[in-house]
Amino acid sequence: MNNMKVKQLSIFLQNKKGSLYDVLETLSEHDVNIRALSLADTSDFGILRVVVDNPQKGEKILEENYLVKTTDIVAIEMTDSPGGLSSVLKTIKENNLDLEYLYAFTHDKKDKAILLLHTDNLNALIDALIKNEIVIVPPEEVYNL
């Protein structure tokens, strides 16, 4: 099951001007390429979630100046059309799984998108996806998109 899990970096940022730029510039300076990102904020801090082409290198670089946590997530391929996301969410609901968060991005495959999912039970999520013939995208493919 581990070979189906994508490594995501969560970076805790102060909610002040330039915080996001500083992280992204640090990654750029060290030739670490972002594949997907999501930013959530509160009044005091933000959580930047990124999938990069080299998670180990990205974590090593960022942990020198930031609080960084590596989390396993699952990437799936879904149809990039109306109803594509809801069909995946229906499967998750029918399997009584609770999503903590998700984010998506498109790529060069026509009519397909990548959906990144996190739940407290990734193995149950992977089992449900396989059982329902939802395509799980291997980590190496995500890192190299």
- What pLDDT is recorded for position 43? 76
Average pLDDT, the chain: 92
- pTM of the predicted protein model: 0.90
Distance CA 137, CA 142 (A): 7
Share of the chain above pLDDT 90, in %: 75
Q: Which tokens sit at 84?
A: 């594509």
Region 118-132: mean pLDDT is 95
Region 87-91: mean pLDDT is 92
Q: What is the pLDDT of residues 101-123, one digit of tens each?
A: 999 888 777 788 999 999 999 99
Specify the higher pLDDT residue, 15 or 13. 13
- What pLDDT is recorded for position 92? 94
Region 27-40: mean pLDDT is 95
Distance CA 56, CA 84 (A): 32
45 neighbors 60 (Cβ within 8 angstroms): no
Query: How far is C-alpha 60 from the geometric centre of its chain's CA atoms?
Result: 18
Cα dist from 97 to 4, 60, 145, whole Å: 18, 32, 28
pLDDT confidence of 41, banded at 50, 70, 90?
Answer: confident
Neighbours of 129 (CB within 10 A): 21
Give the chain's length: 145
Region 90-99: mean pLDDT is 94
1 pLDDT above the threshold of 70: no
Distance CA 124, CA 132 (A): 12
Q: What is the pLDDT of residues 55-88, one digit of tens each?
A: 999 999 999 999 999 999 999 999 888 888 898 9
